[in-house]
Amino acid sequence: MSGTTFGKGCHLHLIDGSAFIFRAYHALPPLTRKSDGLPIGAVAGFCNMLFKQVEDNKGPDAPTHVAVIFDHSGMSFRNEMYDQYKANRPPAPEDLVPQFPLTREATKAFNIACKEVEGFEADDIIATLACQARAAGGRVTIISSDKDLMQLVGGGVEMLDAMKNKRIDSDGVVEKFGVGPDRVVDVQALAGDSVDNVPGAPGIGIKTAALLINEFGSLEELLDRAEEIKQPKRRQTLIEMRDQIELSKKLVQLDCDMELDFTLDDLEVMEPDADTLMTFLTEMEFRTLSKRMADRLGVEAPAIPEAPAAAPVSAAAEAPEAVPFDKDKYECVRDAAALQVWVDRIRERGWVAVDTETTGLDEMVVDLVGISLCVEAGEACYIPLAHKAGGDDLFGGEGLSEGQMPLEEAVAMLKDVLEDPAVLKIGQNMKYDAKILHRYGVDVAPIDDTMLMSYALHAGLHGHGMDALSERYLDHTPIPIKPLLGSGKSAITFDRVPIEDAVPYAAEDADITLRLWQAFKPQLHQERVTTVYETLERPLVPVLAEMERNGIKVDRDTLSRMSNAFAQKMAGLEAEIHELAAETFNVGSPAQLGEILFDKMGLEGGKRGKNGKYSTGADILEDLATEHDLPRRVLDWRQLSKLKSTYTDALQDHINPDTGRVHTSYAQTGASTGRMASTDPNLQNIPVRSEEGRRIREAFVAEEGNVLLSLDYSQIELRILAHMAGIETLQQAFAEGQDIHALTASEMFGVPLEEMTPEIRRQAKAINFGVIYGISGFGLARNLRIPRKDAQGFIDRYFERFPGIRKYMDSTVEFAKEHGYVQTLFGRKIHTAEINAKGPKAGFAKRAAINAPIQGTAADVIRRAMIRMPGAIAHLPARMLLQVHDELLFEVPEAAVEETIAAAREVMENAADPAVHLDVKLVVDAGRGKNWAEAH
């Protein structure tokens, strides 16, 4: 056949490869390669399609020429016309990303032409080839269901929806668009396309567009004679939006005149090479397809080893021993040529584990020192970028070490892959590395994070730091950092570590990260936590990174004045305390205070703790305060001491000199329940309960012309409990907006609501909280300062009135005992390791098991809201700053306050939908002010 020229009697099949991958991915269950968990579902679907194509080669309607066309990653020429083109496309799912390069490999293995062109979309190549084939008098079948391609139908060109096995000719196009193929672009230009973000004309859909085009004949005619349109609104739109409509037409119009470096003749059908193809299918471990293909090619089917037995849950045993850790194999990348080799390998692989080395831990401040990369277990490199020369040399102290490529050059070379949507970047705590790289102009995406995977898999079992994970799941002890940096006063920063010492340490981190990813990836699916990881963990990373970068403005003068005032008051109290004690001692030392109170002064109630010291906690001092003046003074002194040292003094040190703001760091895996933790500084425990403490919030302020906005969920945990336990009385009370604590009191004590006293309500409130925490008579008694048997009586009465709550508690504990974990409504698992323990530990584990689904579900809800928030407020000048478990804090110009409240409340109140339908509605309260005290 070879050598024939494309022309009459020839039949060209054009396969829209990129579109097919997405359809295969979404249509098929997630499938992974058994030996290593590589996601492979879309590749399998793709190969089955190619197999059918090869089968067709012998059929009655056999193609003479065939090609699979792919989108080239990155931007197309349409983005230069309109920067929003396809801008609202979500990034490809992370388990699809590594499959892109594999589908190209598959195409080549089937010996089918595989084409893509930088700067163009697959549709344009298809259009160009179809036009060429039509001009030459041949037939064309476009295998795709993309409606954008329908403009090409006619004159021997048809489309075939491979999944539905449906052919579309000119009549089919008329059915879909109401116009013939030659007017499809006109209709699309008017109707727009939300998927590709083509604007079109607002308020006009396909139906109306077809009507107008059929009436006027063409888009140009329509726009010129728009005055003649009868409907006033439609007329106005077409006149006002003319530019946008014309731009839309350019966006949807396919380019039929691309210059290609190949011709139709290069696409001639070829038989697959048996060796190449069988090797590929065997590598992918496709058993059925290998067998069918072997039959078809008349060769022996290769043996593919059976899958190993289901992996044990404690995975230490299944650690991939195959590739031992070998720190001598790690490469030090010192120039552009060496780095280019790695960039090429990364592109070929479709994924890379990345780790950055820096001069410290505060991402807002520290500098990049080097980057390590790993594409395959055992094969990693370190790129030193800012290591300083040894300090011995009088002049070399501040100079850079030899043999490092310029930082800007390395970052520029890596930027493309790090931002490429077709290359997955894998990290351990990626938020840190992404924030560092962001400061060097790189927006890392898409990402996977082994720390978050471990959190989704193992919350409650152990921590999620790399060292612990490596020990546990790879059976490998990482090189410790301590010997490199030293400790205490002589500690150095990473840029002072000699490069030869840095290479094995840094490269190993990337190696470990990649291996952890390979171990965890298939586990997510097996443990049924893929949805948790994909919807509650992975998408939160960029949201938290942005909040942390935003920071919140803190007024140093206000804090400083408060510190001085506290210091004065403390000095006064300290003098009084020493006088009352008749000696001077360190008021801040519980040990010394205990001896004064109980030994010297002989007060009653001294209880010694484990280490023989008297206990002097607030509750004990509170009791003693009725006997003597000293304990009250100590309580006051302690409150001031706390406020001064932890807040008014320490917060000043956290004000970033560049931004004038305080940037906390959120630990996404901090709490086992799904809650976040805030550190450096902790902005989730800024005082609010006491009057003096609350004033510290006056130092958290909005920028000039802005206000702080606080939106918090009202009673979210009780609402979730009412839903989970199915307590209709409570659900109804929430639906009617009643005072839930008063209602509880009324139900329990039989007091009518109108006769409710604050004291009775307070007791009911304590019980409601107690229920959430896994109530005990002892705990409630201590909290309410009532006799234990009275507290037990309250609890008994509560359960009598709300038997569903007890049932919920019992069944939750039962579930935990059987499975070793409990779950939130959104599927998050919290492991309850010690639930079957004996002794006092059992009580702890039981209460934690009862609390975790409630606290965790509330945490999931606000996470969902936070993930949706950037999209919901993108059109507003508002910034999300802080999260405090059930509260979100925003900063917004005064003019946009109402709109922001409406948008944010909408997101928060509906955050559970559509994954979970709650039987109680969620209610969000909003406050605003120049500072956090006013807003809250």
Partner DNA sequence: GCTATCACG
Partner DNA sequence: GACGTACGTGATAGCC
Positions 852 through 881 that interact with DNA (CB under 7 A): 852, 855
Shorter beta-carbon distance to DNA: residue 35 or 646: 646
Residues 6+ apart with CB under 8 A from 548: 363, 364, 431, 435, 663, 664, 665, 666
Q: Sign of the CA dihedral 430, 435, 441, 445? A: positive
591 binds DNA (CB under 7 A): yes
In whole angstroms, give the CA distance from residue 176 to residue 210.
10
In whole angstroms, give the CA distance from residue 909 to residue 904.
9
The interface with DNA within residues 598-627 (CB under 7 A) comprises 609-611, 613, 615-618, 621
Shorter beta-carbon distance to DNA: residue 36 or 692: 692
Cβ at position 646, least distance to DNA in Å: 4
Cβ at position 482, least distance to DNA in Å: 9
- DSSP type of residue 226: G
Shorter beta-carbon distance to DNA: residue 181 or 681: 681
Shorter beta-carbon distance to DNA: residue 10 or 699: 699
480 binds DNA (CB under 7 A): no
In whole angstroms, give the CA distance from residue 242 to residue 226.
10
Shorter beta-carbon distance to DNA: residue 155 or 687: 687
Q: Which of 586, 659, 757, 836 binds DNA (CB under 7 A)?
A: 586
350 binds DNA (CB under 7 A): no
Q: What angle do CA 784, 742, 918 make, to 5 degrees?
A: 105
Binding mask 797-836 for DNA (x = CB under 7 A): ----------------------------------------
Shorter beta-carbon distance to DNA: residue 119 or 588: 588
DSSP assignment of 90-136 equals PPPPTTTTTHHHHHHHHHHHTT-EEE--TTS-HHHHHHHHHHHHHHT
Q: Which of 253, 245, 241 is nearest to 191 (CA)?
A: 245
In whole angstroms, give the CA distance from residue 885 to residue 688.
14
Alpha carbons within 13 angstroms on the beta-carbon side of residue 325 total: 21
Cβ at position 241, least distance to DNA in Å: 47
Q: Which of 356, 518, 639, 900 binds DNA (CB under 7 A)?
A: 639
Cβ at position 815, least distance to DNA in Å: 16
Shorter beta-carbon distance to DNA: residue 374 or 620: 620
Q: Which of 907, 906, 881 is nearest to 892 (CA)?
A: 881
Cβ at position 205, least distance to DNA in Å: 45
643 binds DNA (CB under 7 A): yes
Cβ at position 594, least distance to DNA in Å: 7
Q: In what order do the strands lie in the sheet with 424-427?
A: 331-332, 379-384, 368-376, 351-358, 424-427, 447-449
């942390």: which residue's tokens?
Answer: 548
670 binds DNA (CB under 7 A): yes
Stretch that binds DNA, among 218-226, 505-513, 534-542, 587-595 (CB under 7 A): 587-595
Q: Which of 673, 744, 746, 812 binds DNA (CB under 7 A)?
A: 673
In whole angstroms, give the CA distance from residue 188 to residue 168.
18
Q: How many CB atoms lie under 10 A from the CB of residue 717?
A: 21
The interface with DNA within residues 247-276 (CB under 7 A) comprises none
The interface with DNA within residues 676-695 (CB under 7 A) comprises 677-682, 684-690, 693-694
Cβ at position 546, least distance to DNA in Å: 20
Cβ at position 626, least distance to DNA in Å: 17
Distances (CA, A) of 698 to 86, 166, 835: 44, 67, 44
Q: Which of 773, 804, 820, 915 binds DNA (CB under 7 A)?
A: 773
Cβ at position 770, least distance to DNA in Å: 2
Residues 6+ apart with CB under 8 A from 827: 528, 529, 531, 532
In whole angstroms, give the CA distance from residue 823 to residue 532.
11
Shorter beta-carbon distance to DNA: residue 470 or 616: 616
Stretch that binds DNA, among 157-165, 257-265, 515-523, 883-891 (CB under 7 A): 883-891
The interface with DNA within residues 753-772 (CB under 7 A) comprises 766-767, 769-770
Q: Which of 811, 805, 911 is nearest to 858 (CA)?
A: 911
Mark residue 916 as left, alpha or beta (left: phi above 0; alpha: psi -120 to 50; beta: remaining). beta
Q: How many CB atoms lie under 10 A from the CB of residue 566?
A: 21
Cβ at position 725, least distance to DNA in Å: 16
Residues 6+ apart with CB under 8 A from 852: 460, 672, 673, 822, 824, 830, 832
Shorter beta-carbon distance to DNA: residue 357 or 886: 886
Shorter beta-carbon distance to DNA: residue 25 or 932: 932
Question: What distance lies between CA 415 and its chain's CA centroid?
Answer: 21
Stretch that binds DNA, among 127-135, 473-481, 669-677, 721-729 (CB under 7 A): 669-677
715 binds DNA (CB under 7 A): no
Shorter beta-carbon distance to DNA: residue 151 or 641: 641
Cis-peptide, bond into residue 308, ω within 30° of zero: no
Shorter beta-carbon distance to DNA: residue 107 or 855: 855
Cβ at position 774, least distance to DNA in Å: 5
Shorter beta-carbon distance to DNA: residue 365 or 413: 365
C-beta of residue 334 within 8 angstroms of C-beta of residue 309: no
Count of positions on this chain that bind DNA (CB under 7 A): 73
Q: How many CB atoms lie under 10 A from the CB of residue 58?
A: 8
638 binds DNA (CB under 7 A): yes
- Within 114-205, where are the H helices? 122-135, 170-177, 184-191
Shorter beta-carbon distance to DNA: residue 41 or 681: 681
164 binds DNA (CB under 7 A): no
Cβ at position 624, least distance to DNA in Å: 12
Q: Which of 35, 282, 558, 783 binds DNA (CB under 7 A)?
A: 783
In whole angstroms, give the CA distance from residue 793 to residue 810.
19
Cβ at position 123, least distance to DNA in Å: 50
C-beta of residue 371 within 8 angstroms of C-beta of residue 444: no
Q: Which of 71, 196, 420, 887 binds DNA (CB under 7 A)?
A: 887
Cβ at position 688, least distance to DNA in Å: 4
Q: Which of 287, 462, 628, 885 binds DNA (CB under 7 A)?
A: 885
Residues 6+ apart with CB under 8 A from 547: 666, 880, 881, 882, 883
844 binds DNA (CB under 7 A): yes
